[in-house]
Structure 1
Amino acid sequence: MGRVSRTTVAIVGGGPAGVVLGLLLARAGIAVRVVEKHDDFNRDFRGDTVHASTIRLLDELGLGDRFRALPQSRLDDFSLPMADGSQLRLGDFSRLRPPYDHVAMVPQWDLLDMLVGAAREEPSFDIVVGRAASDLIVENGLVVGVHLHPYDEPDREHEELRAELVVACDGRDSVLRAAAGLHPREFPVPFDTWWFRLPKGPGDADTALVPAFDGSDVLLSFPRGDYHQVAYFAPKGSDARLRALGVEDFRARVARIRPSFADRVSAIDSMDDVHVLDVRMDRLRRWWRPGLLCIGDAAHAMSPAGGVGINLAVQDAVAAAAILAPAIVGGVRGRSLNHALAAVERRRTPPAVIVQGAQRMLHRVVFERAFAGRLQGGPPILPAVLAKYVPPARGLYARGIAFGPLPEHAPTWARPASDTETEQT
């Protein structure tokens, strides 16, 4: 038997959902340990879009200045290319109230480092890295902890981390979700994405997000500090074929879709610089069992369409903290804690359903049409007409992207004292 350690809440997964939940629970004075399998957060091509709902939350937590000090760029609008070469502004963030009138592009490792730094200021917060969860500890039908092992050495002696509650934030391939026998409903996704970087040119836009379509090819680029983070979309299962065609074919493909990138595609040295994401979309019917809760991608894997995954996961964490912290501090156990877990599921399932429904519609009317070569006449007619002739629609589109359904606010007890005093006056 390996070492045994204890905490009140064990959070498995050091992504945005896990770290935000750990920070909030620690501010409630609850002993919490976050377990992250990697040694650091420095992994490229993770979701980096921080929407207005998350920026507002950081301000409410007193972390706005730290966040704005991070290297970042901003997206002020979302446009679609038209058949005549013009661009149609679909989402106009300037119609939103500052400072929540944009989407920030922030390297996720910088965001997580900032959040962990803030969480470490709380005496009840702890984080361990380089440790992976292999299984749940279950006694009399109740989850009471997790088995951990060194991430790179799964055969080494396991550690038992025992807790009153385990929260699975370990992503769309959640080990704990599978160990709990919680099986998600899967939805078909017509594409995968290939991510790569290209250097930014002196005349490149810094604040706009514009997709490009050519035949059945789709390209989307996000402006970053001194480079573009680019996503190439192709029908699911195309990875082997694209790699077999080689880097020269891929460079030519990118230059054809976005001619303004033709002078820099040589920056793609080989297909090793192109990272495929097997896009999946699923959602749990039930997010919990006694002693265990799943949130974020462990509860609902999202499509990259709209870049909402991080923000929906963060909103899950805020709602979970707001519901669970009073219950845990109050000393509830057993059935009462189960009621709190069920309340988290009830609150956060509708936003997940709405967002995934919107993504599935976007898949049908944009991506499936694009792969069939039927987007040459421009974007779908209804959103185009609304955006062009009904200007307030651009603000509604922008608000839907920036805040999403049911954005959460930081609980009063998690805010700085000065902010709480101001709110009360």
Structure 2
Amino acid sequence: MIPLLAAVGLLVVVLLAATLRPFGLAEAVTAVPAAAIAVVTGLISPAAAWREIVELGPTVGFLAAILLLGHLADVEGVFSWLGGRLAGASRGSSQRLLGLVFVTAAGTTAVLSLDATVVLLTPVVLLTAARLRLPARPHSYACAHLSNSASGLLPVSNLTNLLAFSASGLTFLGFAGLMVAPWLVVIAVEYVVMRRFFATDLASPLVRPGPGAVATTGSDPVVSGNHCQGDDIRARPDFALAVLALTLVGFGASSAIGVEPAWVAAGGAVVLAVRVMVRREIGPVGIVRALSLPFCLFVLALGVVVAAVSSRGLADGLAALLPSTPSLLGLLAVAGIAAVLANLVNNLPATLVLLTAVGATAHPAIVLAVLLGVNIGPNLTYTGSLATLLWRRVAGDRGEPPRLGTFLALGALTVPLGLAAATVALWAVVTLTGVS
């Protein structure tokens, strides 16, 4: 019992440091020493720690590549261009803008991962709402929620997905085929609830700028009347969009040809990196910084600490609670337990522990139910996902700090409904297709 408590204590310290980031220190500053302590004190053997690092290696490699790809797409003007399109197509309507933000955030999360939605898209959405003089709150919360709940479509959409993908035994397209219905269902639930929850904000009339109120500098969208004309500043980034499209196609084909998704993401990132470096829009230091190597190191160290916790009895305890058959009630129970655990210890550690608990021979539907819980569940509290914590910081830095009461109330409405509906959709697809 004492070793388990010691391992859990290390995990709590790591998660608190990652959440609070005292003195602005990187997450790895606490996680790496914690992993070393776990090894030195015998909470996990050196061989087991190394095995965990090796197993996480391809996943972390993909994380670095996709973060770089998203950053380079931003340098190429993809998100500035999207901001212009959002503003122009909204025609000054907050309700229309919300619908467009939903489509854009869901697509960005699916293709470029939830980090791109939080770090790159959220500032553009907030700027667009500000330029159009529309309430920013509904659109900001839409980015936050969809960065989690809309991250279930593809193996590349979330770090948790990559972990589950490896454990599921599914192909890339097989994974997407099973998850597309739950993905669409939870997005629909989120949209319906947000339309009602933010009805007052969405009903606010457009406050039109005065005559001649045009503008900004740099790559900001330009406002004129009730339109935001991104083309006045930046043309459509056809090259970057083509690279992203080909990268997505490559993800789909990677399983068939036995190539890890990390290599596909790296290929797309290299193409964009060469282009922006030749044009001197970014230098080697900027490329290295965009890889977020300290965060990747944090993930590896966190994996070691979680492995120590799992090996000390937590995984066995959870295994006794988790159903092993993919019945509707079984899948609902797995998803519910996963959602609760994600909010208690954060979704990444929860995924690592739960995948150990369900075992290497678990039915793919059980693995995907775990994924629904750890992806949708974090919309209930700030601590459920690192992406949510990052969104809180991004929104606050741009003058739209979220309120805890609003976040909790919205999550209390969307998470139970969205999780239940998505799990039922998963069960229906698995039953109809006979996946085993």
Task: Identify the TM-score tier after normalising by the shorter chain.
Answer: under 0.3
| TM-score calculated relative to the size of structure 1 | 0.26
Please identify which structure carries the higher strand content: 1
Q: What is the TM-score when the length of structure 2 is the normalising length?
A: 0.25
